[in-house]
């Protein structure tokens, strides 16, 4: 059985969300079945109940929407009709189902195009519904990443002290050239290890959180083992999509840095009449930043596509690009608002974590700028920044879900998945 999150067939016709008609506009009304004790109006033929749908005696059951078909937005529920996909016999269709016959909110979000309020409330609801998985994975992975980062800072700091002491002592510099080269190499390696551990840990954590939140949309809370099993088989595609996204996003800024250094070198080499070239390179940071944000938004959902739709790294980038097509500005606005909220919350969390880290540093060493002091500070900084990932990953996963609801009628798919829980 294929996952309900699998990307649709590219050859299938486009099935977007039908917006609700304007107030007062005519909407197709479903007829009432003939009531016991009442006679039908002359010329009126009550609609026939679909075979096997289980209509009550004397009532005509409405036609259930076909799987993947577009429901008519704004149609009114039929009086006395059976509830839809997920309702039990005797349950009220008005309390648990919407006008299309499926549950309006089986999980953390309503099954319709999401507003900004739905996204924020859904992200908070995800954290409240399954904190064990969301914060459990976050704490474990970020503890591991923070430990590696702090050790790397410690080794790098010790190597830096060795380099500076040798540089200030010419005799030592002549006698320990090999040790100096080893110290520099160790510093470079420790920095690379710190970056790789942070990148890998963040990639895996994002995939785990996306897997957990995706199931919450249909009312299912994964366990730690289930979330890991769902993500483990997609680790290659997940990390690959992150790496390609980082490469594409970082390429403009790398080229800008190279251009700045080249222009400065040309001016410093005596070509002072080309000073404008250096100025042009500096001001190029504005379009470069815009280009970076463009790539970042277009490829924002590649990790979710890699894990949830079970596709490769390149295909996940193409899939994210197509999802954002036509929805770039709303996606950008929501992403910027998310970063604004994360920055506000992160300021408070960073203050508390920094205070704790400072107290621990002072308890261990009298010099906070020493390698051991910097290592302790790095540990708490990395750990504090990771505590915000559950909220941001939940929000971005719901943004991805909203795009699929708007562009692919994904609400009907989620409704059937929710009915099977």
Neighbours of 294 (CB within 10 A): 14
- pLDDT tens for each residue of the chain, 421 residues long: 446 677 665 444 445 544 433 334 444 444 444 444 444 444 444 444 444 333 333 333 344 444 444 444 444 444 333 333 333 333 333 334 455 444 578 899 999 999 999 999 999 999 999 999 999 999 999 999 989 988 888 887 776 666 666 555 555 555 556 666 777 787 788 888 888 999 999 999 999 999 999 999 999 999 999 999 999 999 999 999 999 999 999 999 999 988 888 888 888 777 777 778 778 888 888 999 999 999 999 999 999 999 999 999 999 999 999 999 999 999 999 999 999 999 998 888 888 888 888 888 888 887 877 888 888 888 888 888 888 999 999 999 999 999 999 999 899 889 888 787 6
Provide the pLDDT for residue 305: 96
Could you give the CA distance from residue 409 to residue 406 in angstroms, rounded to a whole number?
Answer: 6
Contact residues for 133 (Cβ-Cβ < 8 A; gap 6+): 208, 212, 221, 222, 223, 224, 227
Domain boundary assignment for the chain: 117-419
pLDDT recorded at residue 419:
80
Q: Are 238 and 246 contacting, i.e. CB atoms less than 8 angstroms apart?
A: no
Provide Rg for the chain, Cα atoms: 29
**Cα–Cα distance, 202 to 181 (Å, whole number):** 32
The set of residues, in sequence order, having a beta carbon less than 8 Å from that of 323 and lying 6+ positions away, is 301, 305, 400, 403, 404, 407
Q: Please, how many CA atoms are within 13 Å of residue 120, restricted to the half-sphere of its CB?
A: 11
C-alpha span between 200 and 99 (Å, rounded): 44
Which residues does 274 contact at the CB level (< 8 Å), separation at least 6?
263, 266, 267
Q: CA–CA distance from 38 to each of 25, 28, 161, 237 (Å)?
A: 30, 24, 95, 63
Q: Which two tokens stand for residue 316?
A: 């996940």
């Amino acid at each position: 059985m294929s996952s309900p999150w699998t990307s649709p067939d590219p050859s299938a016709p486009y099935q977007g969300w039908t917006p609700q008609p304007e107030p007062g506009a005519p909407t197709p009304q479903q007829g009432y079945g003939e009531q016991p004790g009442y006679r039908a109006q002359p010329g009126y033929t009550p609609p026939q109940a679909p075979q096997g749908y289980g209509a009550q005696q004397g009532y005509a059951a409405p036609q259930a929407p076909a799987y993947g078909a577009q429901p008519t937005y704004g149609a009114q529920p039929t009086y006395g009709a059976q509830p839809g996909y997920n309702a039990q016999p005797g349950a009220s269709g008005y309390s648990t189902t919407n006008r299309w016959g499926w549950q309006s909110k089986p999980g953390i979000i309503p099954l319709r195009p999401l507003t900004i309020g739905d996204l924020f409330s859904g992200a908070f609801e995800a954290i409240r519904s399954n904190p064990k998985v969301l914060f459990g994975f976050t704490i474990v992975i970020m503890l591991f990443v923070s430990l590696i980062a702090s050790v790397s800072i410690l080794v790098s700091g010790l190597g830096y002290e060795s380099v500076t002491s040798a540089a200030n002592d010419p005799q030592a510099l002549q006698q320990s050239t090999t040790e100096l080269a080893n110290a520099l190499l160790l510093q470079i390696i420790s920095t690379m290890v710190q970056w790789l551990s942070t990148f890998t840990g963040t990639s895996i954590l994002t995939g785990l959180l996306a897997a957990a939140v995706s199931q919450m949309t249909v009312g299912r809370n994964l366990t730690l083992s289930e979330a890991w099993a769902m993500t483990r088989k997609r680790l290659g595609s997940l990390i690959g999509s992150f790496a390609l996204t980082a490469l594409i996003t970082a390429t403009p800024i790398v080229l800008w840095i190279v251009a700045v250094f080249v222009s400065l070198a040309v001016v410093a080499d005596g070509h002072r009449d080309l000073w404008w070239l250096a100025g042009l390179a500096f001001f190029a940071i504005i379009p470069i930043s815009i280009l970076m944000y463009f790539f970042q938004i277009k490829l924002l959902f590649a990790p979710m596509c890699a894990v949830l739709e079970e596709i490769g790294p390149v295909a996940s980038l193409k899939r994210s690009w197509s999802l954002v097509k036509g929805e770039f500005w709303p996606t950008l606005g929501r992403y910027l608002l998310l970063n604004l909220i994360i920055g506000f919350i992160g300021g408070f969390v960073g203050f508390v974590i920094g205070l704790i880290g400072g107290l621990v540093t002072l308890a261990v060493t009298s010099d906070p700028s020493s390698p051991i002091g910097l290592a302790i500070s790095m540990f708490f900084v990395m750990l504090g920044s990771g505590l915000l990932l559950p909220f941001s990953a939940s929000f971005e996963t719901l943004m991805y879900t909203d795009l699929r609801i708007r562009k692919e009628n994904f609400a009907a798919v989620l409704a059937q998945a929710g009915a099977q829980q």
